[in-house]
């Protein structure tokens, strides 16, 4: 009954999205900035899910399933750069290792050696870092390093570690002061390096889909996973990237099918969930 009701709601959202997908609010130019972006409540919230992090039927199965679209997309920013030199990816807010491990496995399958690719995962919750380290297969340990840290602290202590690709996937909506967070994330990228960011949009469509439908009706996500007040409109995200001297290369929308646990790229759903590929200016 819940699934049938959920599908009816989703059909309504889709029909509305066809008419209004291109309507975005004006950028907010007064975002507060501060050195600290860590939100302890958000860190604790996801830490409580550590025991079920890698469960195929657990509360994070949709996030794990997202690897099917985000891993090849992120990897595509490096495929043309393979020349024998080590390429480096920074995964900010790596949690229990879904994305870092998925990227390592992807490059391993493509034949990249440990001397050609390095993935650094930053996660402020030590329990989740332990989960990520313990789950990492032996054959991938030469490609991935996890650290208990925030991006701002890591960048300040390691100012010369310039990454080819910096990833912020489903994390900026959980921090305080997103403008400050983004500033340090961009600083971690080398000039000409890629920035990949994915996050829910801030619109009536994202509230209906992610919070009402996915959390409260279908219970796909744990209730409270998303705080609407912390979601960021696409225009605000693009403005922050441009303020940090990044060129926007592509914006894509994504759609999650809860019945099949499958993600698809679909630009009609940009108001619900979007991904941005940008490049840091030289």
70 is in an annotated binding site: yes
Residue 254 has pLDDT above 60, yes or no: yes
Q: What is the pLDDT of residue 244?
A: 98
Q: How sure is the predictor about 29, in pLDDT bands with cuts at 50, 70 and 90?
A: very low
CA distance readout (Å), 158 to 17, 155, 166: 43, 5, 15
Confidence of residue 35 (pLDDT cuts 50, 70, 90): low
Contacts of residue 246, defined as CB under 8 A and 6 or more positions apart, other chains included, come to 186, 195, 278, 279, 280, 281
Three-class secondary structure of residue 265 per DSSP: strand
- Note whether 68 and 263 are within 8 A (CB): yes
Assigned token pair, 242: 């441009």
- The domains found in the chain, sorted by start residue, are 2-15+33-280 (3.40.50.150)
pLDDT tens for residues 189-213? Answer: 999 999 999 999 999 999 999 899 9
Q: Is 52 annotated as a binding residue?
A: no
Alpha helices in the chain (DSSP H): 2-20, 40-47, 61-65, 67-79, 98-109, 126-135, 151-157, 178-187, 204-206, 234-243
Q: Is 180 labeled as ligand-binding?
A: no
61 is annotated as contributing to ligand binding: no
Q: What are phi and psi of 235, to 5 degrees?
A: -60, -35
The pLDDT, as a whole number, for residue 8 is 53
pTM passes above 0.95: no
Mean per-residue pLDDT for 164-170? 98
Q: Is 142 annotated among the ligand-binding residues?
A: no
> Angle CA(53)–CA(55)–CA(56) in degrees, nearest 5?
130
Q: Mean pLDDT for the chain?
A: 88
pLDDT in tens, 56-68: 888 899 999 999 9
- Inform me whether the pLDDT recorded for 118 exceeds 60: yes
Given pLDDT bands bounded at 50, 70 and 90, which one contains residue 277?
A: very high
- Kindly tell me if the per-residue pLDDT of 70 is higher than 80: yes
Split at pLDDT 50, 70, 90, the class of 34 is very low
Report whether 133 belongs to an annotated binding site.
no
Confidence of residue 279 (pLDDT cuts 50, 70, 90): very high
Residue 75 has pLDDT above 80, yes or no: yes
Contacts of 211 (CB under 8 A, 6+ apart): 226, 228
Report residue 220's pLDDT band, with 50, 70 and 90 as the boundaries. confident
């Amino acid at each position: 009954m819940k699934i049938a009701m959920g599908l009816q709601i989703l059909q309504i959202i889709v029909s509305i999205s066809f008419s209004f997908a291109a309507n975005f609010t004006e950028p907010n130019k007064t975002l507060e900035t501060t050195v600290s972006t860590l939100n302890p409540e958000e860190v604790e919230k996801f830490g409580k899910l550590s025991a079920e992090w890698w469960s195929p039927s657990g509360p994070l199965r949709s996030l794990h399933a997202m690897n099917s679209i985000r891993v090849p997309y992120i990897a595509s920013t490096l495929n043309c750069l393979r020349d024998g030199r080590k390429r480096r990816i920074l995964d900010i807010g790596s949690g229990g290792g879904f994305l870092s491990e998925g990227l390592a496995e992807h490059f391993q399958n493509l034949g990249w050696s440990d001397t050609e690719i390095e993935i650094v995962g930053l996660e402020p919750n030590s329990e989740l870092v332990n989960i990520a380290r313990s789950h990492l297969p032996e054959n991938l340990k030469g490609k991935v390093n996890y650290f208990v840290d925030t991006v701002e602290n890591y960048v300040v202590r390691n100012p010369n570690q310039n990454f080819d690709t910096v990833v912020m996937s489903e994390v900026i909506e959980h921090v305080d002061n997103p403008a400050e967070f983004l500033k340090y994330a961009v600083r971690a990228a080398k000039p000409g390096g890629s920035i990949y960011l994915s996050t829910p949009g801030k619109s009536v469509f994202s509230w209906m889909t992610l919070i009402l439908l996915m959390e409260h009706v279908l219970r796909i996500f744990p209730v409270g996973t998303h705080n609407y007040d912390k979601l960021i409109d696409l225009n605000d995200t693009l403005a922050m990237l441009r303020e940090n001297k990044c060129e926007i290369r592509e914006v894509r929308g994504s759609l999650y099918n809860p019945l099949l646990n499958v993600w698809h790229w679909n630009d009609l759903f940009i108001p619900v969930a979007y991904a941005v590929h940008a490049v840091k200016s030289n």
